[in-house]
Structure 1
Amino acid sequence: MSRVLIIESSARQQDSVSRQLTREFTQQWQAAHPADTLALRDLALNPVPHLDADLLGGWMKPEAQRSAAEVQALLRSNELTDELLAADVLVLAAPMYNFTIPSTLKAWLDHVLRAGITFKYTPTGPQGLLSGKRAIVLTARGGIHAGASSDHQEPYLRQVMAFIGIHDVTFIHAEGLNMSGDFHEQGLNQAKAKLAAVA
């Protein structure tokens, strides 16, 4: 039995393609793996604060020196990190906003990329501590960006996942969604076909 953590980051609830892909994924995964446990965190409905002095203080100060705000920031970061540590499969649903990921997803990453917990520093450089986990990234894009210099989603997320030790990463892009003609339908259908293979 595996535990799957799904992170939603689309600002839209209705008409969100990344959320549509998440629903498809959930249905297919549950059908194929009925014993697995799925947990959902919606960063649009419950946004995570951006990295600030309170969170840095919570991480870096001795317990006796932390302010109440720093303690709360640390508890929130611990909760998010514990969810990630408990998961066997991480699913990131990420629409492309201005060529990259939503700021809400970046804020979540800033809470869970933690020295000594999800990675560590060694004499030869950083080493990820989450080896053995798998990540699936579902993106929705108005244009076509895969493999182009305009794609700052996939290279960044691959780097971040590798940094914490997750090297088994699958990207499923729904592209061309805002282009005229048949691009929207084609992009969505191609993404759904790839989803079926992943589940």
Structure 2
Amino acid sequence: MTHSILHIDTSIKPEGSMSKTLTRDIVARLQGAHPDSSVTYRDLAAHPLPETDAAWIAAISVPAEDRSPEQADIAALSDRLIEEVRNADTIVIGLPVYNFNIPSQLKVWLDLLARPGEAFRYTEEGPEGLIKGPRAIIAYASNGTRIGSDIDFASTYMRHILGFFGITDVQFVASDHFAIDADSSVKAANDDIAGLAA
């Protein structure tokens, strides 16, 4: 069976991006283990997604059969993004840390996924994620915000929101002190990649 990979980059750097380097290496490792794999790629900085707004809320709040043509067009992109996540065996996400948190481009993608009845639902026992199949590997890249530190709001948010969607198998590859010691930062990330179960 084909192994489906969803590859998401979010760095605003057109060149020299550590998170892009890491996601590329992670995908290459997965492809080496699964020669028949397929890859769906999105560069959210090069091709930004539209932010959620009042028109988006209105479009997703009515049943599909009752949407106007304009509402159907608005909801279609969100539908497609959710299907990409649902159909993935592994999601590889580039996470450059900007000002201690995730890039705005990545937040927009997550907002477009965060639809009640599609990505999650509320029950008497609390929220339940509805996307339970994929595994996520996140390439965490920072000049000095150490992963898991008190000032790291990026990795904790990603683990929480993906878990909220039902994606609980979340792993991190981290180059988190590049400006302090580039060599050891890159080595740590490469060691993480080498230790991944493909």
Partner of 2:75: 74
Partner of 1:176: 177
Aligned amino acid, residue 121 of structure 2:
K
**CA offset digits 1:74-95 (Å, max 9, x no partner):** 1111111111111111111110
CA contact (8 A) 2:145 2:151 kept: no
Aligned amino acid, residue 185 of structure 2:
G
Aligned amino acid, residue 104 of structure 2:
S
Partner of 1:190: 188
Residue 106 of structure 1 deviates from its aligned partner by: 0.3
CA contact (8 A) 1:13 1:19 kept: no
1:97 aligns with 2:98: yes
Distance in 1, matches of 2:67 and 2:162, equals 32
* Alpha-carbon RMSD: 1.4
CA contact (8 A) 1:113 1:164 kept: yes
Per the normalisation by structure 2, the TM-score is 0.93
Figure out how many residues of one structure are paired with residues of the other and give that number. 195
Residue 67 of structure 1 deviates from its aligned partner by: 6.3
Residue 105 of structure 1 deviates from its aligned partner by: 0.3
Identity across matched positions, percent: 35
Distance in 1, matches of 2:113 and 2:45, equals 17
Residue 65 of structure 1 deviates from its aligned partner by: 5.5
In the alignment, structure 2 segments of 5+ residues that lack a partner are none
In the alignment, structure 1 segments of 5+ residues that lack a partner are none
Query: 3-state SS of the aligned residue for 1:6?
Result: strand
**CA offset digits 1:7-44 (Å, max 9, x no partner):** 11001121000011112112222111111211111101
**CA offset digits 1:78-135 (Å, max 9, x no partner):** 1111111111111111100110110000000001121111111111111011223211
**1:63-142 paired onto structure 2 within 5 Å:** 63-64=65-66, 66=68, 68=70, 70-142=71-143
